[in-house]
Every structure is written in C-alpha cells, then in structure tokens.
Amino acid sequence: MPWAFQRKRDRWELLTDDPESEIWFRLSEDESEYTVRRKMIRYYDDEGVDYNASELDETVSYFVYSLKQGREYFAASKRVSILTRPLLLFYGMVCLAKLPIILKNPRYPVQLAEQSGLRMHGLGYRENRSDELVIENDIVKIHDQGTFSSLYLFFKENLPGIRGFKISELYGWLPDMFSAFGSKSNITTRLATVNTSIVGDNGDIAARIKLTPIVNLDEKSLYETYPFLKQDFEKRELENETVFLGRTAENRKKIPSGEGTADRKVKERKLVQEIEKYFSKISRYNYLGVEYLVPQKEQFILNPLLGSYMLMYGFSRLCRYNPAKWGELIEGRTSNERWLVERFIDLSSKTFPWEIFQLFTGKPVIMWAG
C-alpha cells in the first residue's frame, strides 16, 4: 500500500542547496534499466504483486523512458513563458504519473496496447458558459478510464462518487496555495494541518490530534469535514492550538496498575498498538513533511498530487484549445486570477516531482538548505 494514506513513518532528510535539482538527481537513479529491474522485482516480491517475468523487460523499459521523458518535459517548461508552460508541465506530469501506476500494476504497459481507454487522459474539462472570462468556475471531470483514473486507483480502491471539481475547489487541495487565498472567500481549504500522537491523560493512554488553524474552516465546517473528531474525540482549547483527545474504547485505554513493571510495560505497548490501529483508519496525507487530515466525505477524497494533476490538466487544455482566453487571463486583461494561476504553475513544477519521489521512498522527504 502507498504510504500516503497510512500512519506516518519516519522521515527521510536530505541536506542540499538546491532541493529541485536534488529530487531530479535522485529520480535519475531510476533511469537505468538494470537498476529499475532489480528494484521492481524486490518491490513486487515484498508487496506480493504478481508479475509475468516474460513481460518484465517491457515494463522496465516503459518505466525508464517515461521517467526520462518526464524530466525533459519539466526541463523544457523552464525555457518557455507561462503562455505555453502548462502544456509541457502537464505532459511531464503524465509521464511521472505512470511510474506509481506501474508499481501497482506491472502489466500496465501491456494493457495500454490492448485497451484504448487506458491511453486517454481520464479527465475532461467544461468551461463555465455563464461567465466566459472567469475560470474559477470551470469544471474538471474525472472519467472512468485513463491515466488519471489509474493514478487515483494507486491511492484508493474506487473512484470518487463525485466526478466534477471546480477550479476553485481544486485550489483548496494544494497546501502551498493556502497563503495566497487571502480574503477570497470562494476558495476553501480542504486539508487541516495535523500532528498525531499517543499520550498519557489522567491515568489513560489516549489518541491525540493537534490541529493547526487553517483558512476558511470554522468549527461547523470542521466537524462536517471531519465528523470523527466530534464522534470520537473530546475537544480541548490550549494556548494557540486546538487539541482533540480520544474518548472512545478504540482510542482511549486505561493504563494497567498494580502489576510488575515489566508486565505493565508489555501491556502498555499492546494498548498503544491498539490505538495505532485506530489511527490507521484515519486518512492522512503527508505533503512535503507536513501531515494533513483528508476529509472523510466521499466527494472530497483527493490529495495535493491528484489536485495538482487535475488543475494542470485544466490549464493545459485552456492553453491548447482556447489560447485567446488563456492569453488574456495571464495578461490580467479579463480577471484578477493571474496571480493564483502563476503561483500554482511555479510551485507545481517543483512539488509534483517531489511528491512522486516520496511515493518511491515510502516516507516523507524533507529537504534542508545547507
């Protein structure tokens, strides 16, 4: 299973002066077919993934050249203006998105040749006809088959119940964009920054969730988005932070007493493991080392990687099929959306490869500037 929706593991920390180049340097280690073949066999064996040895050469070759193409698309995007950049970045994302898909499905390259539906983007775009000059109300739609649909199924077993997301809704899934929203009340953040732990509390061992205040999420919206917080936890207001402590049989256990120290520690460890099982049911996403709660509502199940992919698809489609509208928007002639668009395009060119790399490492990757 991918690490992104599981209990947070240990971080992987790197010291570097250039995080963007460091990620591509690390990814380039998988541009060797010999290296990739060894890693794939080990990964498939460890994860219990069935694969056909006679098809493995084709799978390895497809993986390696998709990675190389992705690197070249991202590099080429730096040499053009924002007028054209979404096209190159999106096709770079398409190439990189195929890598985790192959990790879960070794037959993916073979199936692409057999099933034309898999070769589609897996997304659609509907412009808002009532106000053609505003793109925040345009909708990106998820289709049953295609690259995006296969990428989504890397994280979850089924596609979401709601298939259409406004551009303004997709912005709300991107943590790097949160500081840019300001007073734009039509954009709501969909992820709460969280720190999870297991602590002692009044003679009990309890699950503890600490939330950091986020934009546009009042208490009512918080409980609607994360209903388990109201059902399973007691809210406590501390200085400059909100803490939720477990209050059910699943997330709070009585500390054993009146026994020998060794026996008590063994029992305490078992109780901690039981609470860990509760945490494993909570969807969380680790974005560049910061952990976020993923809303439980079916229609909200996205994450920053998927949101970035959908948003860049929308921009690339406008860029390609409606260049006049796209050009007027980025020149600031038709609306004030340019600043959000530019910020997203600049950030995603750095963060998307980083997120793909984290899927390979199986743990959060933290870069320290040295």
Q: What is the pLDDT of residues 142-165, one digit of tens each?
A: 999 999 999 998 888 788 877 889
Check whether residue 44 and residue 151 sit in a common domain.
yes
Check whether residue 73 and residue 171 sit in a common domain.
yes
Question: What is the distance between the alpha carbons of residues 60 and 51, in angstroms, rounded to a whole number?
Answer: 12
Structural domain contains residue 364: no
The residue among 293, 308, 335 that closes a domain is 293
Least confident of 221-235, 248-262, 299-313: 248-262
Check whether residue 78 and residue 126 sit in a common domain.
yes
Q: What is the pLDDT of residues 73-83, one digit of tens each?
A: 999 999 999 99
Sole residue written with tokens 């990675």:
67
Question: What is the distance between the alpha carbons of residues 157 and 233, in angstroms, rounded to a whole number?
Answer: 28
Using the predicted structure, report yes or no on whether residue 5 has a pLDDT greater than 70: no
Using the predicted structure, report yes or no on whether residue 331 has a pLDDT greater than 50: yes
- The number of folded domains in the chain is 2
User: What pLDDT is stored for residue 7 in this prediction?
Assistant: 34
User: What pLDDT is stored for residue 296 in this prediction?
Assistant: 62
Structural domain contains residue 340: yes
Check whether residue 77 and residue 164 sit in a common domain.
yes
User: What pLDDT is stored for residue 6 in this prediction?
Assistant: 33
Identify the residue with better confidence: 13 or 199: 199
Structural domain contains residue 128: yes
Check whether residue 262 and residue 168 sit in a common domain.
no
Structural domain contains residue 5: no
Q: What is the pLDDT of residues 119-146, one digit of tens each?
A: 999 999 998 776 655 788 899 999 999 9
Check whether residue 305 and residue 280 sit in a common domain.
no
Check whether residue 285 and residue 243 sit in a common domain.
yes
Could you give the 3-state DSSP secondary structure of residue 127?
A: coil
Write out the residue range of the structural domain in which residue 278 sits: 192-293
Using the predicted structure, report yes or no on whether residue 366 has a pLDDT greater than 50: yes
Check whether residue 152 and residue 208 sit in a common domain.
no
Check whether residue 303 and residue 288 sit in a common domain.
no
Structural domain contains residue 229: yes
The residue among 293, 318, 343 that closes a domain is 293
User: What pLDDT is stored for residue 99 in this prediction?
Assistant: 94
State mean pLDDT over 14-26: 82
Q: How confident is the model at residue 298 (pLDDT cuts 50, 70, 90)?
A: very low
Q: What is the pLDDT of residues 80-108, one digit of tens each?
A: 999 999 999 999 999 999 999 998 899 99
Name the average pLDDT for the chain: 83
Check whether residue 117 and residue 259 sit in a common domain.
no
% pLDDT > 70, the chain: 85
Structural domain contains residue 369: no
Using the predicted structure, report yes or no on whether residue 206 has a pLDDT greater than 60: yes
Check whether residue 72 and residue 125 sit in a common domain.
yes
pTM over 0.85: no
Looking only at the bridges linking them, the beta strands covering 12-16 and 365-369 are parallel
The residue among 293, 312, 335 that closes a domain is 293
Q: How confident is the model at residue 183 (pLDDT cuts 50, 70, 90)?
A: low
Burial per residue of 232-254, b for 16 or more beta-carbon CB atoms within 10 angstroms, e otherwise: bbebeeeeeebbbbbbeeebbbe
Structural domain contains residue 11: no
Side-chain half-sphere CA neighbours of 189 within 13 A:
23
Structural domain contains residue 13: no
User: What pLDDT is stored for residue 300 in this prediction?
Assistant: 52
Closest CA to 347 of 191, 188, 173, 187: 173
Check whether residue 257 and residue 329 sit in a common domain.
no
